[in-house]
Structure 1
Amino acid sequence: GSVRTSILEDLDVYPRTSRRPSTTPSTAKSLFVACLPFSRYAFVEPAMDMKQDTWLRAHVAMFEAFTGSVPRIVPDNLKTGVIKHPREGEVVLNDAYREMAAHYSAAVLPGRIRAPKDKASVENTVAHVATWVIAGLRQQQFTSLPELRAAIIDRVAAYNAEPFQKRPGSRASVFAAEKQPFLTGLPAAAYEISRWVYGRRVGRNGHVVWERNYYSVPFANIGTTVDLRITDRVLQAYRGTERLTSHLLLPESAANEYRTNDADLPVGEKYRQWDPSRAREWAGRVGPAAVTVVNRIFESVPVDVQGLDAALAVLRLSRRYSAERVEAACRLALAGRVRSPRYAHLQPILATEQDKAAGFRPPRDEPAEHGGFVRGAEYYAGGAK
Structure 2
Amino acid sequence: MKFLTITLIAHNDEKSPTERFREVVENAVLAEELGFDGFGVGERHERPFLSSSPPVVLSHIAAKTSRIRLFTAVTTLSLLDPVRAYEDYATLDHLSGGRLELIIGKGNGAAQARLFHVTVEDQWERNREAYELFRRLWREEKVTWEGRFRPSLTDAEVVPRPLQREIRIWHGSATSRESVELAAKHGDPLFSANVANPIDPYAELVDHYRERWVHHGHDPADALVGAGMAGYYAARTSQEAIATYRPIFDARVALLRRRGLPVVFPTLEDAIERSSLLVGSPQQIIDKVLRYHKRLGHEVMHLPIDAEGLTPAQHREALELFQAEIAPVLRAEIPSRPFPAAPASPSPTAGRSA
TM-score interval, normalised by the smaller of the two chains: under 0.3
Structure showing greater Rg: 1
- Which is richer in helix? 2
Greater RCO (Cα-Cα under 8 Å, separation 6 or more): 2
TM-score by length of 2: 0.27
TM-score by length of 1: 0.25
